[in-house]
Chains A and B, each alone.
Chain A
Amino acid sequence: MSDLPGDLLYTKDHEWLRREDDGSVTIGITDHAQGALGDLVYVELPEVAQDVDEGGDMAVVESVKAASDVYAPIGGNITAVNEGLSDDPEKINSDPYGDGWIVRMQPSDGMDEGALMSPDDYQQFIDELDD
């Protein structure tokens, strides 16, 4: 397993979040998630300026194997989507924490970091799943 980036926060749904300087939050799925999904072949993205509720459907990632919902880990307004995934969804496989980012949003109520996992906590979480 690759090392988890230390500057991200993580969820039990295998998403990562990064707080940007402008207060927005970039979201993607983790290396563990892309590994479980297999080769990605299609990503359904939300509309820019769309509002999403915490826990609501935000995107769908489809691999050769199956379709998987990506739920919004926080509520907010979508400010950008990764259009590059339309032509090259495998960016999520090859670079899940970089070029494979999925959406950026402006959180409606800030980001409750207490509800999210640190890299160490997430590492422990996936280690326990693998046992």
Chain B
Amino acid sequence: MGSKTPLYDKHVDADARIVDFGGWDMPLHYGSQKEEHHAVRGNAGVFDVSHMTIVDLAGKRVREFLQYLVANDVARLSEYGKALYTAMLNPRGGVIDDLIIYYLSDTDYRLVVNAATRIKDLAWIREQAGAFDIAVNERAELAMIAVQGPNARELAAPCVAPDYRDAAMAMKPFFGMLGGDWFIARTGYTGEDGWEICLPAAQAPGVWDRLLAAGVVPCGLGARDTLRLEAAMNLYGTDMDESVSPLEAGLDWTVAWEPGDRDFIGRAALQALRDNPSKQRFVGLLLEERGVLRNHQKVVVEGVGEGEITSGGFSPTIGRSIALARVPAGDYDRAQVEVRGRLLNVRIVKTPFVRNGKIQIDT
């Protein structure tokens, strides 16, 4: 028996198939993962993401601390509520976790980190924060609901307190705002528009019911995974971990090299790798024949070497199999993947595969 979110009873009532995820009993799907996936691409779906870990940081030196803790630079956050996606690295440049940081004030930031990494993340943050006199406050009393899809905000807006509704609707992508005891952010993990809402646990079931009554489709972790794969968003523990640097996980864009004198944890190791011509590529793959690409399958690049699929699966939007893979350095756009002893042809494609309901690659 794992931990249960405030919405667990809702999932059981809806006949969800419950699975363990990082010690949490979470819904995998409520009947059809594919239908849930299509609902998010075409209309709106809602996910219980209360297992995610919310951490508030406060203190006079919190900006300075975050500039040391993570590879992206929080100095980029100057507008209230602005969000930053980044990775927390170990001194070897490996990824301890990926996270989103929201800027609330010069002395207050909100972090959302992964569920399965909660204990080590909190220990790491607290250890590093010691020298900066930072208050590290986990907000375990909050639930978190992600409502995603082209119609998600419109369908969810009536749930927002009237005083904050207009501001929430006017909020730009990748911003968040406090509204009473809610925190609403225009972020997500699906490649669609929508909100992620942190709210007191006791309010979550009522909001969930209202969203469903408005026609928003409940979605499980299964659809969350195929949606994020189509959007080419990395999954921690699958696409990267402490042995992999962001430069070999497609996260180059989350590393802020300037200013050059900002000394973040892992910087020296990353810099050494940056200039190494043999560093691996992180690419998208499209299967050109029937079958399904899966995690850990071997990628064979003739005359170059071998790599590995980090996340593979079936894309419900494209109707074919896609994958993210770590492959050898080199200039090539075709490879093969070993599936049950046979080599299947794949094409290397620019990601994302799907964004805002539309296929982004040539099929």
Contacts and interface: CB of A to CB of B under 8 A. Distances in A.
> Which range holds the interface residue count of chain B?
10 to 19
Interface stretch (A35-43, A48-56, A74-82, A108-116): A35-43
Nearest to A60: B340
A42 to B, nearest CB: 5
A20 B323 CA distance: 42
A99 interface: no
A41 B321 CA distance: 9
A97 to B, nearest CB: 19
A65 interface: yes
B11 interface: no
B29 interface: yes
B291 interface: yes
A42 B33 contact: no
Contacts of A38: 17, 28-29, 32-33, 222
B34 A64 contact: yes
Contacts of B226: 64
Contacts of A42: 290-292, 314, 321
Interface string B303-322: 00000000001101000010
A62 B226 CA distance: 14
A64 B316 contact: yes
Interface string B330-346: 00000000001000000
Contact of A44 (B291, B313, B314): B291
Contacts of A66: 294
Contacts of A65: 28, 33, 222
Contacts of A126: none
Interface in A1-49: 38-39, 41-42, 44
Interface centre among A38, A60, A64, A86 (most CB of B within 10 A): A64
A65 B313 CA distance: 8
Given A60-B340, A64-B222, A64-B313, A86 B290 contact: yes
Interface string B26-37: 001100111000
A60 B34 CA distance: 20
A39 B29 CA distance: 10
Given A38-B222, A41-B314, A64 B290 contact: no
Contacts of A60: 340
Contacts of A67: 292, 294
A69 B28 CA distance: 21
Interface in B14-70: 17, 28-29, 32-34
Interface in B76-94: none
A62 B314 contact: yes
Most chain-A Cβ atoms within 10 A of its Cβ — which of B291, B294, B314, B340? B314
Contacts of B290: 42, 86
Nearest to B29: A38
Contacts of B32: 38-39
Contacts of B294: 66-67
Given A64-B226, A64-B314, A41 B29 contact: no
A60 B340 CA distance: 10
A44 B292 CA distance: 10
B26 to A, nearest CB: 14
Top-4 shortest CB links A-B: A41-B314, A39-B34, A62-B292, A64-B33
24 contacts: A38-B28, A38-B32, A38-B222, A39-B32, A39-B33, A39-B34, A42-B290, A42-B291, A42-B314, A44-B291, A62-B291, A62-B314, A64-B33, A64-B34, A64-B222, A64-B226, A64-B313, A64-B314, A65-B28, A65-B222, A66-B294, A67-B292, A67-B294, A86-B290
Interface of B: 17, 28-29, 32-34, 222, 226, 290-292, 294, 313-314, 316, 321, 340
Given A38-B17, A41-B292, 20 more contacts: A38-B28, A38-B29, A38-B32, A38-B33, A38-B222, A39-B32, A39-B34, A42-B290, A42-B314, A44-B291, A60-B340, A62-B291, A62-B314, A64-B33, A64-B226, A64-B314, A64-B316, A65-B28, A66-B294, A67-B292
